[in-house]
Amino acid sequence: MKLASALLLSLPLFQDTVLAETRDLKKGKCDLWTKKWKNGKSSKGKGSYNFNRIATFPVCSQLDADCNTDTETAAEIVTVSGDLNTLIYSDSPMGVIGFVDITDATSPTPLGTLDVGGEPTSVSVWNDSIAVVGVNTSEDYVNTSGLLVAVDIATQTILKSWDLGGQPDSVAVSPDGKYIVVAIENERDEDLGDGIPPQMPAGFVVSIATAESLDDWTPSVIDVTGLDGVNIPEDPEPEFVHINENNLAVVTLQENNAIILIDLESGTVESSFSAGSVDLDNIDTEEEGIIDQTSSLDAVPREPDGVVFMNPNYFATADEGDMDGGSRGFTIWNVCGEPVWGSDSFMDQYSASVGHYPDERSGNKGVEPENVSFGSFEGTDYLFVNAERAGLVFVYDVSKVKKPKFKQVLPTNVGPEGGLAIPERNLLVIASETDDRGDKMRSTLTIYEYGKGKRQYPTLKSKKPKGSEVPIAFAALSGLSPDPSKDGVLYSVEDSFYNKSRFFKIKTGKSGKASKLVKAINIKDTNGVFAAVSPYGEFSADDLAEMINDDMTVNIDSEGIAADGEGNFYIVHEGQGTVGDADRPIESLNFIFKVNESGDILDVITLPDAWNDKQLRFGLEGVAYNPDSNTLVAVLQRAWGDDANPAVMVYSLDNDDWVGYGYYPLDAATSPAGGWVGLSDITYVGENKFYVIERDNQGYTDARVKKIYEIDVSEWSGDGHVFSKSLVKDILDITDDIGALPFEKYEGLAYTADGVWIVNDNDGVDDNSGEIQLLNLGDI
Ligand SMILES: *[C@@H]1O[C@H](CO)[C@@H](O)[C@H](O)[C@H]1NC(C)=O
Ligand SMILES: *[C@@H]1O[C@H](CO)[C@@H](O)[C@H](O)[C@H]1NC(C)=O
Ligand SMILES: *[C@@H]1O[C@H](CO)[C@@H](O)[C@H](O)[C@H]1NC(C)=O
Ligand SMILES: *[C@@H]1O[C@H](CO)[C@@H](O)[C@H](O)[C@H]1NC(C)=O
Ligand SMILES: *[C@@H]1O[C@H](CO)[C@@H](O)[C@H](O)[C@H]1NC(C)=O
Ligand SMILES: *[C@@H]1O[C@H](CO)[C@@H](O)[C@H](O)[C@H]1NC(C)=O
C-alpha cells in the first residue's frame, strides 16, 4: 500500500481536504481512492437482495384513466420531490411536466400535468419542494432560446423563470443546493449539411448561484469553447451535467467526444479531455437477419451521453454515440480524466443471451447505453445503466469503483431514458420514453424495489456453447412444445424476424429460477426434401429458392413446434401473402416441416389445395402432437376466405395424409383500440384434449383478450365441425404480479408434468421492449 493511501484510510476525518486536493494530483496518482472508496458499508451478504419490478405507470393515464387516447405522451427525465412521494417527469411531446403520486409505490397514481411554455428537456428538484425545469423555446436550430422555470411541486404552479440565452438540454442541482447548472446544447441540425458540426450558435454552460429568495438567483454563463481535447472546440454542444459534493460539475460534450470538469465555486473550467475510444470484440456489426457476434471494431469513440458521479472522485458515462462513435458500453473515470474501467462488449453480448439484443441496430451502436444513474442501497453502491435499444437496465455493484460487479438486468419499456435511484425508499424509477399507440408502445415510468428475494428477471438465459466466445443469441420466440419423453425440457422456435431459421432446446428453471436455453439447432434442407416441393398457384420455384440458402439452411417463419418424444419435431411455417390481394402477393405457402434432432428436414407437409386456394396471410400458428391417434393438430391464426372462424386441422402420421378439419369459435375483439382476435398456439393435455391460446393483437392498456381455452378433438363430427371450448385461464392480468402491463403476443404454450408454460414473442426487440416472460403457470 502506498504511503499516501495508507494515511488516507486511517484518517477518514480529513477526507474533505484531501478530496479537494486529489483533483490537482498529477496523473498516476489519481486512483488513490479506488481501492477502498465506498459510500457505505460492505456489500457482503447482499447476494440475496435484488431489484424487482413492482409497478408500471402508463404516462397516457394522465390524459385518460384507461389510456383510451392516441395522443403521444412521454416520460423522459424523472426526478422526485424532497418528501420522496411525488415523481416529476418531463414530457416534451406534450410540452408539460407531469406529477405522479408514489406514496404507495406499488400503485402510482396520476396527479396531473403543467404546461411549461415550451419543450421541457430536463427537470431536477431544488430545496425539496421546487422543480427546476429546462425549457427549450427555440424557433429552430439557429435562433435558439430557452428558459429555466421554477415550479412549486405542491401547487403545480410556475413561480419564476429565467432566460437562459440558448437551448437547454440537462439541468442538475448540486447536492448542497447552492448551484443549479444547465447544459445549453444549441444542438446541431442533423439534416443540415449531413449534420456535420460546427453549426453555430455554439453551446455553453449556465451556472446559477441560488439564494433563499428566487428573486436573487442570477444565471451566469460559463464559456466552454476553445478547450483542449474537444474535437470541434468552437462548437462544444454540452449535453449532460452532474455535480459532486465538492461542487465540481462534470459535463459531457457528446458530439465532440469530450468531457469537461467545471469548478462551480470559481465558475471556471478546471479541465477538459477527450473521452477517447474503445476496441470492441465479439459483437454484431451487420444487419443481415442473424445475430452473429463474431465481428470487431477498433478505436470506436465513446461519445458519452449520460453522466453521473458515484463519489467525489469517480464518475460513470453512458457511451451512447452520436456522430460516428458509440462504444456499446459504459466507462468509469477518475476526476483526472482517466478511464479506470469499461464494460467493453459485455452489454451487447449479455443482451443477446437474454433475448434482448436489437439486431436491427447492429450496424449502428448496438444496445446504445444512454444513461447512468447511481444510488447506495442498504450500504451497497449501485450503478444503473440504461440500454436504450435493448429495453434493459444493467445493474452493477460499484462498491469497488475500479472493479464493478455485474449484478442483474431489469426489463423496461421501449426507450429507457431517465433513471432515478431513491435509496431512502429502496426504489429505482426508469422512464421509458417511446409512445405510439398504433405500434403498441406506450411511454411508462417503471418502479423497481430493492429487497430480499429472488430476482424475477430474466426468465430465460442462454448457455455459452463449448468453443464459442459468446452465449447463444436468441429472441422472437413464437412457439413452445413439451418433450413427451423428458420432463424439464421445452422446445421453441424463432419466427421470420431471423434468417437461417433455428429451433431451441430449453431446460426449465425450477422454483422460480431462470430457464436455460441450452441448444440452438439450424433447420437444414440437407436431403433436398424442401427443394423438391412443387410450385403451386402463385408460389413459384423462385419463391421456394429464396427460402433455401446456399448452406442448406432455410429462411422460414416458424410459428409453432411439436416434439413427438422420439426425436422428431414438427415445425409449422406460416405462409406469406393473401390470395387475390395484389398488395400482399403469395410469397410462400404454409408448410409443416418434419425435422430430426440435428435439424435435418425429413419431410414437408403441405396443406390441401382447397386451403392453399384461399390462403390468408394469417396462417399456421401452432401445432401439437396427439399420441392417442399419432396425429398432428395444427391451427390457423385467423379465419380464411369466407370462413367465420380459424381452422383446426388434423394430419395423420400413420397415413401421411390430412384427416379433416374443424373450426375454433373465437371470442369477439373488445379492445378500445380495435384489432382482431386469433389463435396463437396449441398443446396436448391428454385424452384427445388440447389447450389453445386465444389473444387479441393489442398490448399494454389496450389488451383485452389473452386466454387459455380447452377443446376436445374427439368431439369432431366431420369437416366443418365447430368445436366447443371451455375457459381454462384468463392470463390478461398475470403480468400484474410482476408489475408489468400486459404483453401483446403470447405465442408459446406447453403442457408439461410441472404444469403449463407460456412465452411471449418479443418481435426481435424491434418496436418492442424485448421483454420475454417464459412463465410456469403451474396446474391451471
Ligand atoms: C426546440 O429545439 C429544436 C432544435 O433542436 C427546435 O427545432 C424546436 O422547435 C425547439 N422548440 C420547441 C418549442 O420545441
Ligand atoms: C429569434 O427569436 C426571437 C424570440 O422568439 C424573436 O423575437 C426574433 O425575432 C427571432 N430572430 C430572428 C432573426 O428570427
Ligand atoms: C427552502 O426550504 C425551506 C425549508 O423547507 C423553506 O423554509 C424555504 O422557504 C424554502 N425556500 C424557498 C425559496 O422556497
Ligand atoms: C433473409 O433472406 C431473404 C432471402 O434470402 C432476404 O430477402 C432477406 O433480406 C433476408 N433478411 C434479412 C433481415 O436480411
Ligand atoms: C438520466 O436520468 C436522469 C434522471 O432521470 C436525468 O436527470 C438525466 O438527464 C438523464 N440523462 C440522459 C442522458 O438521459
Ligand atoms: C438426421 O437426418 C439426417 C438425414 O437423414 C441424418 O444424416 C442424421 O444422422 C439424422 N440425425 C439424427 C440425430 O437422427
pLDDT in tens, 655-699: 999 999 999 999 999 999 999 999 999 999 999 999 999 999 999
Q: Is residue 6 predicted with pLDDT exceeding 50?
A: no
Ligand 3: which atom is nearest the Cα of residue 214?
13
What integer is the mean pLDDT of 344-366? 94
Among all ligands shown, which has an atom nearest to the Cα of 129? 3
**Is the C-beta atom of 289 inside 6 A of ligand 4?**
yes
Distance 129 CA to ligand 3 centre (A): 8
Q: Which amino acid is at 76?
A: E
For ligand 3, atom 11: residue with the closest CA: 212
What integer is the mean pLDDT of 78-82? 98
Using DSSP, state whether 44 is helix, strand or coil. coil
Q: Is residue 24 predicted with pLDDT exceeding 80?
A: no
In DSSP terms, which residues pair with 229 in a beta bridge? Answer: none
Does 457 fall in a domain?
no
Taking alpha carbons only, the member of 426, 419, 423 closest to residue 452 is 426
Distance 127 CA to ligand 3 centre (A): 6
Rounded to whole angstroms, how far apart are CA atoms 382 and 401? 10
Using DSSP, state whether 425 is helix, strand or coil. helix
What integer is the mean pLDDT of 597-610? 98
Does 296 fall in a domain?
yes
Does 460 fall in a domain?
no
User: How much is the pLDDT for 47?
Assistant: 65
Same domain (yes/no): 516, 431: no
Among all ligands shown, which has an atom nearest to the Cα of 143? 2
Distance 134 CA to ligand 4 centre (A): 45
Distance 95 CA to ligand 1 centre (A): 11
Same domain (yes/no): 569, 422: no
In DSSP terms, which residues pair with 433 in a beta bridge? Answer: none
**Is the C-beta atom of 143 inside 6 A of ligand 2?**
yes
User: How much is the pLDDT for 188?
Assistant: 78
For ligand 3, atom 1: residue with the closest CA: 127
User: How much is the pLDDT for 22?
Assistant: 44
For ligand 5, atom 10: residue with the closest CA: 418
Distance 743 CA to ligand 5 centre (A): 27
Q: Which three cell numbers stand for residue 75?
A: 416520460
Number of folded domains in the chain?
2
Same domain (yes/no): 441, 509: no
User: How much is the pLDDT for 34?
Assistant: 39
Same domain (yes/no): 147, 274: yes
What integer is the mean pLDDT of 712-731? 98
For ligand 4, atom 11: residue with the closest CA: 289
Distance 549 CA to ligand 5 centre (A): 45
**Is the C-beta atom of 715 inside 6 A of ligand 6?**
no
Q: Which amino acid is at 612?
A: N
**Is the C-beta atom of 667 inside 6 A of ligand 6?**
no
Q: Is residue 358 predicted with pLDDT exceeding 80?
A: yes
Same domain (yes/no): 447, 481: no
Distance 213 CA to ligand 3 centre (A): 9
**Is the C-beta atom of 669 inside 6 A of ligand 3?**
no
User: How much is the pLDDT for 198?
Assistant: 77
Does 397 fall in a domain?
yes
Tell me the best of 525, 542, 555 to mutate to test the pocket of ligand 4, counting ligand atoms within 8 Å of each CB and taking the most: 555
pLDDT tens string 626-660? 999 999 999 999 999 999 999 999 999 999 999 99
Rounded to whole angstroms, how far apart are CA atoms 677 and 706? 9
pLDDT tens string 84-105? 999 999 999 999 999 999 999 9
Same domain (yes/no): 399, 528: no
Mean of the per-residue pLDDT values of the chain: 93
User: How much is the pLDDT for 31?
Assistant: 54
Same domain (yes/no): 439, 490: no
Q: Is residue 2 predicted with pLDDT exceeding 50?
A: no
Same domain (yes/no): 448, 529: no
Q: Is residue 41 predicted with pLDDT exceeding 70?
A: no
Residue 259 is part of which domain span? 3-452
CATH number at residue 731: 2.115.10
Among all ligands shown, which has an atom nearest to the Cα of 594? 6
Instruction: Kindly indicate the confidence band of residue 199, based on its pLDDT and cuts at 50, 70 and 90.
Output: confident
Taking alpha carbons only, the member of 753, 703, 711, 754 closest to residue 731 is 703
| Ligand 1 interacting residues, C-beta cut-off 6 A | 118-119, 136-138, 140-141, 167, 187
Distance 170 CA to ligand 5 centre (A): 8
Rounded to whole angstroms, how far apart are CA atoms 522 and 590? 19
Tell me the best of 143, 144, 186, 200 to mutate to test the pocket of ligand 2, counting ligand atoms within 8 Å of each CB and taking the most: 143
User: How much is the pLDDT for 485?
Assistant: 96
Tell me the best of 138, 147, 164, 191 to mutate to test the pocket of ligand 1, counting ligand atoms within 8 Å of each CB and taking the most: 138
What integer is the mean pLDDT of 740-762? 98
Same domain (yes/no): 114, 208: yes
Domain end (from 419, 452, 485): 452
Does 439 fall in a domain?
yes
Q: Is the pTM of this model over 0.85?
A: yes
Ligand 5: which atom is nearest the Cα of residue 122?
9
Distance 522 CA to ligand 6 centre (A): 13
Name which of 26-40, 223-237, 333-347, 481-495 the model is least confident about. 26-40
User: How much is the pLDDT for 29?
Assistant: 52
Among all ligands shown, which has an atom nearest to the Cα of 147? 1
Using DSSP, state whether 50 is helix, strand or coil. strand
pLDDT tens string 237-285? 999 999 999 999 999 999 999 999 999 999 999 999 999 999 999 999 9
**Is the C-beta atom of 198 inside 6 A of ligand 4?**
no
Does 692 fall in a domain?
yes
End-to-end Cα spacing for the chain = 61
User: How much is the pLDDT for 187?
Assistant: 83
Domain end (from 417, 452, 487): 452
User: How much is the pLDDT for 46?
Assistant: 59
**Is the C-beta atom of 155 inside 6 A of ligand 3?**
no
Q: Is residue 33 predicted with pLDDT exceeding 70?
A: no
What integer is the mean pLDDT of 472-476? 98
SS (H, E, C) 453-500: CCCCCCCEEECCCCCCCCCCCCCCEEEEEEECCEEEEEEEEECCCCCC
Same domain (yes/no): 425, 571: no
Is beta strand 558-563 parallel, antiparallel or unpaired with respect to 477-483?
A: unpaired
Same domain (yes/no): 379, 502: no
DSSP string, 379-404: TEEEEEEEETTTTEEEEEE-SSTTS-
Does 280 fall in a domain?
yes
Rounded to whole angstroms, how far apart are CA atoms 283 and 30? 32
Lateral strand order in the sheet of 689-696: 677-686, 689-696, 706-712, 726-730
Same domain (yes/no): 197, 296: yes
Ligand 6: which atom is nearest the Cα of residue 597?
13
CATH number at residue 382: 2.130.10.10
Please count the other Cβ atoms lying within 10 Å of the Cβ belonging to residue 642. 6
Distance 600 CA to ligand 6 centre (A): 6
What integer is the mean pLDDT of 549-558? 98
pLDDT tens string 693-704? 999 999 999 999
Does 465 fall in a domain?
no
User: How much is the pLDDT for 640?
Assistant: 98
User: How much is the pLDDT for 382?
Assistant: 97
What integer is the mean pLDDT of 371-380? 95
Ligand 4: which atom is nearest the Cα of residue 499?
1
User: How much is the pLDDT for 75?
Assistant: 97
What integer is the mean pLDDT of 430-443? 97
What integer is the mean pLDDT of 304-332? 93
Rounded alpha-carbon distances, angstroms, from residue 217 to 211, 634, 713: 6, 71, 77
